[in-house]
Amino acid sequence: MIVFDLACDCGYTFEGWFQDRQDFDKQQTAAFLVCPVCDGREVRKILSPIRAQSFRNTGDESSHMKAAESKQSTRVADSLETLQEFVEKNFEDVGTELATESLKIHYGVSKPRNIRGVTTELEEKKLQEEGINLLKVPMPVKCKNAN
Ligand SMILES: [Zn+2]
């Protein structure tokens, strides 16, 4: 739900609740918006910050919520970066040999170590059948222009 501040030609202002912006546009176009004081249909939206409706109807709260949300997404990005760094530093890059090496380590042919690389879907399935679960980390695509 969103709330718009509405104003009538008579000077009365009130709040209108709508499902979304399209809902408001629809109702305004169809002249469904009627002033509760004078029954006038010249109701228009006052330019004001649109509040996304949460549980309580206070502007303050919604701005707090937004701040909290953006903080949270920064945190997620941070921890993902840390994870990527960790993997880069501590895992040997075996490239396309990941599946083969994983199996070798699994069966004690190769020395146990942390490895990273790429696998095909088929290889991944095979590994899963062998009881080897890969951790997938979305790695950043390095931009050629950076640095
Ligand atoms: Zn009015």
Annotated domain spans of the chain: 2-53, 91-137
What is the distance in A from the centroid of ligand 1 to the CA of 47?
18
What is the distance in A from the centroid of ligand 1 to the CA of 16?
14
Q: What CA–CA distances, in Å, run from 23 to 29, 35, 64, 93?
A: 10, 17, 26, 53
pTM, to two decimals: 0.43
When pLDDT is averaged across residues 18-31 and rounded to a whole number, the result is 85
What is the distance in A from the centroid of ligand 1 to the CA of 98?
72
What is the distance in A from the centroid of ligand 1 to the CA of 15?
13
pLDDT tens digits, 36-83: 899 998 888 886 554 444 444 445 555 555 655 665 566 666 777 787
When pLDDT is averaged across residues 22-46 and rounded to a whole number, the result is 87
